[in-house]
Amino acid sequence: MIKRTKSAKVDFQMANLPATRKEVFADVLKIHWKSFLGFAFLFVLFTIPFHALKIYEDIIQMNMMQDFDNMTVDQKQAVIVQVLSVKNMSAVLNIVSFIIFSVFLSGMLRIIRQYSWEENVFFGFDMMQGIKQNIGQIFPLFVLVGIVNAFVVYAYNYSILTPNGTLAILLAMAVCAVVIIGLPTLAYTLVSVSLYNNSLIGHIKLGAVMAFKTPFKSFAMLALFFLPFSLTMIPNIVCHIIGGLIGSFCLPVVLLAWYLFAFDRFDEFVNKTKFPELVGKGTFSNNDN
C-alpha cells in the first residue's frame, strides 16, 4: 500500500542550517548517529591491542601481589620492582599498538574532517583516501607517541623506586610537562595533518603553537574529552576493562567534538589571514545565500 508522505509543518529555511560549530556537532550526530555508532565499534576493535596488554598487565600484577601483606619488607620491594618492570615492558609493547591504531586513525581523520565540514562521506572511499593521504605522517607520529609514552611510563615508575628525592621530583615534573604540553600539541597536530599541506615537523610546530595560544581552554577541553576513560584510573581490572571499552566507544564523538573545537581555534589564529576559505567552513550563517 502506498502511504501518504508527511510534509513538514514549516518550510525549510537557511536559518535552519547550523550557524555555529556547536550546532554542526548536534546536526551531524542527529543525522549520522548510525554511522557514528558503527565508528564506535570500529574504534573498540582497533584499540583491542591496548586493552589486551592492560588486561595481561593486570593479571600478572594480581598474581605477583598475592600474599603481599604477609611478605617481608625485602620481598615487598622485590615484588614492586617486578610489577613496575611489567608496566615498563607493557609500555614498550604498546608501541606496536600505536602503530596498528595509526593506520585506522589515518582514514578516520579524513572522515571526521568531512563530517565537520558537513560534506558527504562514502566510508570505503574516504577511509582509503584518508589512509593514503595521512599515513605518511600519522605513522611516524604515532611511533614517536609510542616511544614518548614508554619514556613517560618508565620515568614515572623510576621516580617511585629511586631513593633520590630530588631526582624523583624532577622526573615527576618531566612527566607532568609531557602530559600538559604534549597532549594538546598532539591533538592539534592530528587536525593539522588532515587540514593543511605541511611537513610532519611543521604540523607538530603548528600544534605546539596552537596549544600555547589557548593553553587553559585547550587542556580543559581535552580533560573533559578524557572523562569517558575515567574508570581506568581505578586500580581494578574490571574498571580497566569497562573504562577502556567505554572510552574507545566514545572516541568518534570525542574526535568530532575536538575537530570542531580546533577548527574554531585555527580560524582565529591561522585561517583568518592565511586560509580565509576555511573560515567557518561547514557552518551556514543567516547571511549566506
pLDDT on residue 71 = 82
Closest to 26 (Cα-Cα) out of 278, 253, 262: 253
Q: How does DSSP assign 224-266, residue by residue? A: HHTGGGGGGGSS-HHHHHHHHHHHHHHHHHHHHHHHHHHHHHH
Evaluate if residue 76 carries a pLDDT over 90.
no
pLDDT on residue 66 = 84
Q: What residues contact residue 27 under an 8 Å CB cut-off, 6+ apart?
A: 18, 118
Mean pLDDT lowest for which of 29-43, 59-73, 82-96, 263-277? 59-73
pLDDT on residue 159 = 87
What pLDDT, in 10s, does the model give residues 150-185? 999 999 888 888 878 888 888 888 888 888 899 999
Percent of residues, the chain, with pLDDT higher than 90: 66
Evaluate if residue 226 carries a pLDDT over 70.
yes
Q: What is the mean pLDDT of the chain?
A: 90
Report which DSSP code applies to 277.
G
pLDDT on residue 287 = 44
Mean pLDDT of the 88-100 span: 96
Mean pLDDT of the 185-213 span: 95
| Rounded Cα–Cα distance for residues 152 and 129 (Å) | 33
What pLDDT, in 10s, does the model give residues 7-16? 555 555 566 6
Most confident of the following: 28-42, 70-84, 166-180: 28-42
Q: Is the pTM of this model over 0.85?
A: yes
| Rounded Cα–Cα distance for residues 235 and 242 (Å) | 12
Q: Give the position of cell 576493562.
A: 241
What pLDDT, in 10s, does the model give residues 98-119? 999 999 999 999 999 999 999 9
For the chain, give every domain's residue range: 20-278
- C-alpha pair distances (Å), 186 with each of 55, 87, 138, 224, 267: 26, 23, 11, 16, 18
Evaluate if residue 264 carries a pLDDT over 60.
yes
Mean pLDDT of the 225-233 span: 89
Do 152 and 178 contact (CB within 8 A), yes or no? Answer: yes
Closest to 106 (Cα-Cα) out of 150, 46, 185: 46
Do 158 and 82 contact (CB within 8 A), yes or no? Answer: no
**All 3 cell numbers of residue 215?**
593553553
Mean pLDDT lowest for which of 156-160, 199-203, 238-242? 156-160
What pLDDT, in 10s, does the model give residues 125-147? 999 999 999 999 999 999 999 99
